[in-house]
Chain A
Amino acid sequence: NAGVTQTPKFQVLKTGQSMTLQCAQDMNHEYMSWYRQDPGMGLRLIHYSVGAGITDQGEVPNGYNVSRSTTEDFPLRLLSAAPSQTSVYFCASRWTSGPSGANVLTFGAGSRLTVL
């Protein structure tokens, strides 16, 4: 069981370039999400998906696209990178905790992106 796998771990882009951060989970979780982590800001939700074919926006979706064609994969696309997107990105998927179905996240190890 690999859990949540993110690639790449590090990436440097120039302003205007595009790239995709990959996320895959092998736990058959329906829910997946992307967060960005910035100093002093904690983690902020970018996009999430409650199942294959279904995606929705979080708190800070501008500049990012997502798709969910399979249960396992949830890639995050930056179409035209900007320096403000320099951050550490975390993918997470969810299982439920307890009989009332509370939601606990399993995180990937993170992808550090620098936009010059």
Chain B
Amino acid sequence: SQQGEEDPQALSIQEGENATMNCSYKTSINNLQWYRQNSGRGLVHLILIRSNEREKHSGRLRVTLDTSKKSSSLLITASRAADTASYFCATDAGTGANNLFFGTGTRLTVIP
């Protein structure tokens, strides 16, 4: 399987705290993406980091990538109740049809 794994599986924090979730993957990649899924909804793209990048920011999101360890982390700063969702990493190996392979997800709960 080309799936990655997220860690932790579930995370519960207080509003205002930072949330960090990690993703490990197995194959070489062209880029890695993070998606959010609200309960009962489809996935929504958050941020993309290419294999030659080490860190990327978008608003309250910070993503890092360590290709030598085949791992990435997503940091959400100053969390809000509306950030409650599941977060998935997805890898693009940059070969063939450039299919995305998703991790198992981290369930984040932000307590108001």
A110 contacts across to B, CB distance below 8 A = 40-42
Interface string of A28-59 (1 = CB under 8 A from B): 00010101000011111100101000001011
- Count B interface residues, CB 8 Å: 27
Interface-lining segment among B60-68, B74-82, B101-109: B101-109
Give the CA-CA distance A15 to B43 in the complex, in Å.
Answer: 29
Q: Is A27 an interface residue (CB 8 A)?
A: no
> Is the Cβ of B42 less than 8 Å from the Cβ of A104?
no
Q: A42-B103, A102-B31 are in contact. Are A107 and B97 (CB under 8 A)?
A: no
Q: Is A19 an interface residue (CB 8 A)?
A: no
- Count A interface residues, CB 8 Å: 29
Q: Is B22 an interface residue (CB 8 A)?
A: no
Q: A102-B48, A103-B92 are in contact. Are A33 and B99 (CB under 8 A)?
A: yes
Near B by CB (< 8 A), chain A positions 64-110 give 90, 92, 97-98, 100, 102-110
- B residues with a Cβ closer than 8 A to A are 1-3, 30-31, 33, 35, 40-45, 48, 50, 88, 90, 92, 97-105
8 inter-chain pairs at a CB distance below 8 angstroms, sorted by A residue, are A42-B105, A45-B101, A92-B42, A92-B43, A100-B50, A104-B45, A110-B40, A110-B41
